[in-house]
Structure 1
Amino acid sequence: MDIVLLVKAAIMGIVEGLTEFLPISSTGHLILAGSLLGFDDDKAKVFDIAIQTGAIFAVILVYWQKIHSTIVALPRQPKARRFALNVLIAFLPAVVLGLLFGKAIKAHLFIPVVVASTFIIGGFIILWAEKRPPGSVRIEHVDDMTPWDALKVGLVQCFAMIPGTSRSGATIIGGMLLGLSRKAATDFSFFLAIPTLIGAGVYSLYKERALLSVADIPLFLVGLVFSFVSAWLCVRWLLRYISTHDFIPFAWYRIAFGIVVLATAWSGLVVWAE
């Protein structure tokens, strides 16, 4: 295996882990990083989706106590069954719309200019969400969510199919706009990520299996390991951060980063791959 390729895989894994659970779009950052590194062929696109599984293992580790207690309590506690049902309900819209439109979206929207534009739009939406009145919070904890709340968050998650939108950003900010507290929206976003990203990774690997070979195993393992470690650090940091801070800095980051990408593309300073 080419050592340069393994270094690129490690960089992409770090980018994935650091951005997957922040409201700044991991897919968008992977598209831009892949464009700069020359790591953007069809196999690289499968790689980008597959290494999300490493980031999910980090979430499972951080939330293991809640996950384990819910599984154990499923046969006897209605609250545990309702929570599991809510995650399933929120997961289904992305499955349906992903199967219907996923191919077309990948063919036409996975380009840097689209990513940069959605970065900027998403930044302004976060600024708007953070201006909501204090009394708009209805749900303080994920266990207080109803199936209807879960369905609405699941529908909002579908906007993240547009690269640059951010799955975490859509579910966290969307959840806040729907009445969830910042903590409840963040927690539910993380739990919803488990079936969503594992499902996307397995489906992508199966669908594009003809592109892969045994020789690719080291490449994917490096990406998974670096994605796991960086995501574990990021999730632990984010949970501490949201206890005393809002998401406004991420909004300004999105806007500034999107402007930089558009400016460099239009000026020709950086030739972003299409």
Structure 2
Amino acid sequence: MELLTIIKAIILGMVEGLTEFAPVSSTGHMIIVDDIWLHSEKFLGSKYVANTFMVMIQLGSILAVVVVFKDRFIDLLGLRRNKIVPVGKKRLKLTHIIVGLLPAGVLGVLFEDTIDEYLFDTKYVLIGLVVGAILMIIADRYSAKNDHAQAVDEITYKQAFTVGLIQCFSLWPGFSRSGATISGGVLVGLSHRAAADFTFIMAVPIMAGASGISFIKNLEYFTMDALPFFIAGFISAFVFALICIRFFLKLIDKVKLLPFAIYRILLAVIIYIVYF
């Protein structure tokens, strides 16, 4: 595989890693970058491999979340020995994650083919960027009037399920999973940091599931020639996601969602003016 192809994989992995957990839509950015500049479908030889690559490199971002939240995942899976939790103390449980995953998980399975066929297109991504930005602005304005659960351990099952319902919007490429779920968390009474923590933790099983399903469905399209492309994208996504997550978690309670919403709208307008 040519060096230029590997460089393109690294660029797409970088875009994925830097945007997956910021509320700006990693899928939307990858579709825009790929459609307008890189055209991975041409050098990979199939739109199915290209679309699956965009899902598969999310595994690199998932690994970065696991690294950052490793202690939390150890507790959720009950792998820490002799851990004593004080009676009556609230804590995030695996069942909270499952409740939050159910709505988008069901819709994703039912409509995956339709989404892949019709919504992985730049013009629909631009619409998703703007609509998602509007939701984020509404969440920020509402948060000033809302009581906040400061830590993710304070989340209730009702809040988790409501966030899960709002996460369904993220099935629309360009809307942003983190944008939808952080906004949803803020709207139901979580602080921005607590909503971000819940978003990142909840992202691991749903992204791993989506990647696994895509891999199995498109296994026939993979070749050894494409393997270096996938590995390069995976490593790039992991490194840049690790940097982005640590930075974003320090930033989110200070700047809220508004700067990201403004960026999304400006990006959509610029792309529309230049390329349509």
TM-score by structure 2 length? Answer: 0.91
Which residue in the other structure is 1:271 paired with?
Answer: none
Distance 1:88 1:133, change over 3 A: closer
Question: Where do residues 79-98 of structure 1 align in structure 2 (5 Å cutoff)?
Answer: 83-98=93-108
Q: Does residue 190 of the first structure (1) align with residue 200 of the second (2)?
A: yes
TM-score by structure 1 length? Answer: 0.91
Which residue in the other structure is 1:12 paired with?
Answer: 12
Report deviation, 1:95.
Answer: 1.8
Residue deviations 1:184-224 (CA, integer Å, cap 9, x gap): 10000000001011111111001110111233221111000
Q: Which moved more, 1:15-24 or 1:105-114?
A: 105-114
Structure 1 unmatched runs, 5+: 267-274
Which residue in the other structure is 1:22 paired with?
Answer: 22
Question: Where do residues 21-170 of structure 1 align in structure 2 (5 Å cutoff)?
Answer: 21-35=21-35, 36-40=37-41, 41-70=47-76, 71-72=78-79, 83-132=93-142, 134-170=144-180
For residue 174 of structure 1, the aligned residue among 176, 184, 201 is: 184
Report deviation, 1:179.
Answer: 1.2
Distance 1:133 1:58, change over 3 A: closer
Structure 2 unmatched runs, 5+: 42-46
Distance 1:207 1:76, change over 3 A: farther
Question: Within 1, Cα distance between the matches of 2:186 and 2:135?
Answer: 12
Secondary structure of 2:40's partner? coil
Residue deviations 1:20-64 (CA, integer Å, cap 9, x gap): 000000010010111121114221110000000100111111111
Question: Within 1, Cα distance between the matches of 2:31 and 2:185?
Answer: 26
Q: Which moved more, 1:231-240 or 1:2-11?
A: 2-11
Question: Within 1, Cα distance between the matches of 2:263 and 2:227?
Answer: 35
User: In percent, how many aligned pairs have the same letter?
Assistant: 36
Whether the aligned pair in 1 keeps the contact of 2:92 and 2:152 (CA below 8 Å) is: no
Secondary structure of 1:54's partner? helix
Distance 1:52 1:133, change over 3 A: closer
Question: Within 1, Cα distance between the matches of 2:49 and 2:60?
Answer: 18
Which residue in the other structure is 2:44 paired with?
Answer: none
Secondary structure of 1:136's partner? coil
RMSD between aligned residues: 1.9
